[in-house]
Amino acid sequence: MATSDGPVAGPASPAVRRARAGDIRPIRELVAPYVAERAIVPKPAVAYYESVQEFRVVEIDGRLVGCGAVHVMWDDVAEIRTVAVDPTVKGRGVGTLLLRTLVDDARELGVSRLFCLTFEVGFFAAHGFREIEGQVVAPDVYAELLQSYDEGVAEFLDLDRIKPNTLGNTRMLLQL
């Protein structure tokens, strides 16, 4: 639409990009309500900085409105983690844009399966994820993964020590 003053600007489209170290504070602010609701497992700030290269962020008009990461756990499996969208932009495609980008990142990393632990079962199911139960790795891989200090790996392994933080979440997997 144009007027005598020129084009009328509407809200900008969401744009996804790799996260930078300077994004960690806004990422943590975005994630904080989800952590408070126990929808995302709490992590110290240092864990976000150590994994900044795994993150993608979504911006609208220069404001960070979404984030998520791909964390490789083994040669064929990675986790989609820390997915959060600002509630003020839900329904604008931010989550879908973010998830599609993360799936593309996983493909580029060469994994064949993506795991997530979520309350948003319908959203992930709409993108091809399926609910899982039990272990989806061989016993020798399971034994190796037990050596990880990463809470996401503990979620994937369905370890009892993580369950108080994840009660009610659904374990899901996508075959790439």
In this prediction, residue 2 carries a pLDDT of 38
Structural domain span for residue 79: 15-149+161-175
Per-residue model confidence as pLDDT tens for the chain (176 residues): 333 444 444 568 899 999 999 999 999 999 999 999 988 888 999 999 999 999 999 999 999 999 999 999 878 889 899 999 999 999 999 999 999 999 999 999 999 999 898 999 999 999 999 998 877 666 566 566 555 566 655 566 565 545 555 567 888 999 99
In this prediction, residue 65 carries a pLDDT of 98
84 lies in some domain: yes
Count Cβ atoms below 10 Å from residue 63 Cβ, excluding itself: 12
Cα separation of 54 and 61, whole Å? Answer: 23
27 lies in some domain: yes
2 lies in some domain: no
Structural domain count of the chain: 1
93 lies in some domain: yes
Cα separation of 152 and 71, whole Å? Answer: 8
101 lies in some domain: yes
80 lies in some domain: yes
- 84-109: b (≥16 Cβ within 10 Å) or e: bbbeebeebebbebbbebbbebbeee
The full DSSP string for 62-75 is TEEEEEEEEEEEET
In this prediction, residue 5 carries a pLDDT of 44
114, 171 contact by CB (below 8 A):
no
In this prediction, residue 157 carries a pLDDT of 54
**Residue 119's CATH number:** 3.40.630.30
62 lies in some domain: yes
Contacts of 30 (CB under 8 A, 6+ apart): 64, 65, 66, 67, 84, 86
99, 80 contact by CB (below 8 A):
yes
21 lies in some domain: yes
